[in-house]
Amino acid sequence: MASLRSRILHFSCLAVVLYVGMLWSWKNTGFPAKRRYGENRSHEGMITGRGPTLRSDLSPSFTTNQASCDGPVTNFVFIKVHKTGSGSTFLVLARFGRNHGMTICYPIHDKHRRLSYNSPNLDRSACQPSLGNYTLLINHAIMNKTAMDRLMAPGTRYIGIVRHPLEHFRSVFFYENQPAKDSVNPLGKYLDSKVNYKPGRTGMGKLGKPVCQQKNFQAYTLGFPRKLFGSRKKSVLEETLRTVGSWYSIVLITEYWEESLVLLRRTFCWTMYDILHTTRRLHVQRDPKKSAPLTDKQIETHRKITPIDYLIYDYFNRTFWERTTKEGPEFWDEVVYFKTLNLQVNNHCTLSQGDKVFPSGKWSREFLADSTFCEELDWTTTQWNSALLLQLERQNEEISRKQAQIESE
Ligand SMILES: *[C@@H]1O[C@H](CO)[C@@H](O)[C@H](O)[C@H]1NC(C)=O
Ligand SMILES: *[C@@H]1O[C@H](CO)[C@@H](O)[C@H](O)[C@H]1NC(C)=O
Ligand SMILES: *[C@@H]1O[C@H](CO)[C@@H](O)[C@H](O)[C@H]1NC(C)=O
Ligand SMILES: *[C@@H]1O[C@H](CO)[C@@H](O)[C@H](O)[C@H]1NC(C)=O
């Protein structure tokens, strides 16, 4: 017990953030990417990567429910919240960005590839220089709409992600603490030790530093103003929630991740090909210690520690379900279709790596899954970052070449 407590003492807020960053970057060292896959050129001379290989034009009804679509959204920011499954989302969005010739704001100053952390301020000096306009921001950054609107090409859209606060906390806790091998329910014990926790006026209380993975961390990352963390004024909090909500075109819900991808596809006029992803990362929590049930009292304590995260989760979960209801019952047919297709694609890639044509269906166009496609489905964050950086460099070369041409004319 004493040793459990002493280990828990290390669970201080800022340390968690740094530690997570370090581990993350340690896991992603090295650069095995095959760069040539990042390359291709469209008729405009820009690199556009590999789009789906299509054998036929549109299938008759694949644009269901997309009457207002003028083409895919190719200018967006993804607020990558730690420990929400945002890594898997990153892979999907990076692949999309490469395939659509997007220009990444690639973090240059931080070896953990974060753009802003303790200070949610951001300008072009944070990114690898571009001669064009940035249209893609998907590495860790704290939401700051004013700064990001200024940084990105005009009309940029925002994607967020939230996870149930208790699941988020479990994930943070067991990632940081490999503690208490002898304990049946270390998280419950930890919460018991905080039972008398009183949020301070700023909501930070004694749990530590301003930036902290266990207290209102998701809300902080998504741009909820810190000065309101301690507020009890319902009307102020609700108005702020609506403001924060209005910044985002969509906020994905980790618990309904694949459903979220389908809603994203519809919202951004993307194809189903665009949201295909590896199923290897979707592992279920099997360690009983990690998923040990908590008492009502422990859950209540957790709510007290991170009240704004609960508020924001309930808000975005509710609006998510309102939106899926508005999409109509076909939405759920599409989700089933998507999950099945994605499994088939993964099975193909695991088993054969050869070429396979997936025929068009109600919501998808015909496409070819070849060995390159399969290889890329397994790419890591580092590989995708490198491909996007390469794309940026090629775009810069292209723009300089054109400028030189104009000057010499
Ligand atoms: C690039 O595009 C051309 C023509 O569209 C195609 O033949 C070639 O295979 C593509 N290369 C890669 C690496 O995707
Ligand atoms: C960047 O955006 C501005 C403002 O929309 C535009 O005038 C400019 O041409 C863009 N630059 C490039 C290289 O596309
Ligand atoms: C957001 O960015 C703007 C513009 O750079 C800056 O003035 C402001 O202080 C930032 N907001 C926060 C909360 O840091
Ligand atoms: C999200 O909202 C739906 C609909 O209100 C509800 O049924 C569900 O339990 C919520 N999910 C979580 C994880 O709270």
pLDDT digits (tens, 9 = 90+) for 44-66: 333 334 555 544 444 333 444 44
Q: What is the pLDDT of residues 159-213, one digit of tens each?
A: 999 999 999 988 888 876 665 555 788 888 888 887 777 665 444 433 445 446 6
Residue 38 lies in a domain: no
Residue 394 lies in a domain: yes
Show the tokens assigned to 166.
Answer: 């208790």
Ligand nearest to the CA of 118: 3
Residue 219's pLDDT is 93
Predicted structure pTM score? 0.82
Q: How many domains does the chain have?
A: 1
pLDDT above 90 for 389: yes
Ligand 3 midpoint to CA 120 (Å):
6
Pocket lining: 307 vs ligand 3, CB cutoff 6 Å: no
Q: What is the pLDDT of residues 311-325, one digit of tens each?
A: 999 999 999 999 999
Residue 287's pLDDT is 73
Q: What is the pLDDT of residues 206-256, one digit of tens each?
A: 344 544 667 888 999 999 998 898 888 999 999 999 999 999 999 999 999
Mean pLDDT of 382-404: 95
Residue 257 lies in a domain: yes
Which of the two residues, 185 and 349, has the higher pLDDT score? 349
CA-to-CA dists, residue 262 to 142, 273, 345, 365, angstroms = 25, 11, 16, 15
Residue 120's pLDDT is 59
If DSSP states are collapsed to H, E and C, what string results for the chain? CHHHHHHHHCCCHHHHHHHHHHHHHHHCCCCCCCHHHHCCECCCCCECCCCCCCCCCCCCCCCCCCCCCCCCCCCEEECCCCCCCHHHHHHHHHHHHHHCCCCECCECCCCCCECCCCCCCCCHHHECCCCCCECEECCECCCCHHHHHHHECCCCEEEEEECCHHHHHHHHHHHHCCCCCCCCCHHHHHHHHCCCCCCCCCCCCCCCCCCCCCCCHHHHHCCCCHHHCCCCCHHHHHHHHHHHHHHCCEEEEHHHHHHHHHHHHHHCCCCCHHHCCCCCCCCCCCCCCCCCCCCHHHHHHHHHHCHHHHHHHHHHHHHHHHHHHHHCCHHHHHHHHHHHHHHHHHHHHHHCCCCEEECCCCCCCCEEECHHHHHHHCCCHHHHHHHHHHHHHHHHHHHHHHHHHHHHC
Residue 352's pLDDT is 83
Residue 68's pLDDT is 59
Residue 161: strand pairing partners: 252
Q: What is the pLDDT of residues 265-278, one digit of tens each?
A: 999 999 999 999 99
- Main-chain phi, psi angles of 18, to 5 degrees: -65, -40
Atom of ligand 2 nearest to the CA of 399: 13
Residue 25's pLDDT is 32
pLDDT above 80 for 354: yes
Collapsing DSSP states into helix, strand and coil, what is residue 45? coil
Residue 65 lies in a domain: no
Residue 373 lies in a domain: no
CATH number (domain holding residue 129): 3.40.50
Residue 10 lies in a domain: yes
Judge contact between 59 and 365, C-beta under 8 A. yes
Q: What is the pLDDT of residues 63-121, one digit of tens each?
A: 444 445 779 999 999 999 988 888 899 999 999 999 999 999 999 876 677 777 656 57
Residue 198's pLDDT is 66
Q: In whole angstroms, what is the distance from residue 227 CA to residue 378 CA?
A: 41
| Residue among 74, 102, 103, 133 to mutate when testing ligand 2 (max atoms within 8 A of CB) | 133
Q: What is the pLDDT of residues 28-43, one digit of tens each?
A: 333 333 333 333 333 3
Mean pLDDT of 301-318: 94
User: Whole domain around residue 111: which residue ranges?
Assistant: 2-29+71-338+385-402
Task: Determine if residue 42 is left, alpha or beta; phi over 0 gives left, psi from -120 to 50 gives alpha, anything else beta.
Answer: beta
Residue 379 lies in a domain: no
Residue 109's pLDDT is 73
pLDDT above 60 for 383: yes
Residue 404's pLDDT is 93
Mean pLDDT of 121-134: 91
Max distance between CA atoms of the chain, in angstroms, equals 78
Mean pLDDT of 132-153: 95
Average pLDDT of the chain to the nearest whole number: 80
Q: Which DSSP category does 77 fall into? A: E
Mean pLDDT of 142-163: 96
Residue 114: strand pairing partners: 140
Show the tokens assigned to 52.
Answer: 């789906």
Q: What is the pLDDT of residues 7-32, one digit of tens each?
A: 333 333 433 333 333 333 333 333 33
Q: In whole angstroms, what is the distance from residue 82 CA to residue 268 CA?
A: 24
- Main-chain phi, psi angles of 235, to 5 degrees: -65, -40
Atom of ligand 4 nearest to the CA of 321: 4
Calculate the dihedral angle through the C-alpha atoms of 127, 128, 134, 136, rounding to the nearest 10 degrees.
-80
Ligand 4 midpoint to CA 282 (Å):
20
Show the tokens assigned to 58.
Answer: 């549109």
Ligand 2 midpoint to CA 76 (Å):
16
Judge contact between 318 and 162, C-beta under 8 A. no
Residue 52's pLDDT is 52
| Lowest-confidence segment of 108-117, 217-226, 327-336, 343-352 by average pLDDT | 108-117
For ligand 3, atom 6, name the residue with the nearest CA.
121
Ligand 4 midpoint to CA 317 (Å):
6
| Residue among 44, 50, 54, 100 to mutate when testing ligand 1 (max atoms within 8 A of CB) | 50
Ligand nearest to the CA of 168: 4
Mean pLDDT of 294-298: 93
**Residue 30 parent element (H or E):** none
Residue 123's pLDDT is 87
Ligand 2 midpoint to CA 103 (Å):
12
Ligand 1 midpoint to CA 31 (Å):
23
Residue 280 lies in a domain: yes
Per-residue exposure over 147-164, b if at least 16 CB sit within 10 Å of its own CB, e if not: bbeebbeeebbbbbbbbb
Pocket lining: 61 vs ligand 3, CB cutoff 6 Å: no
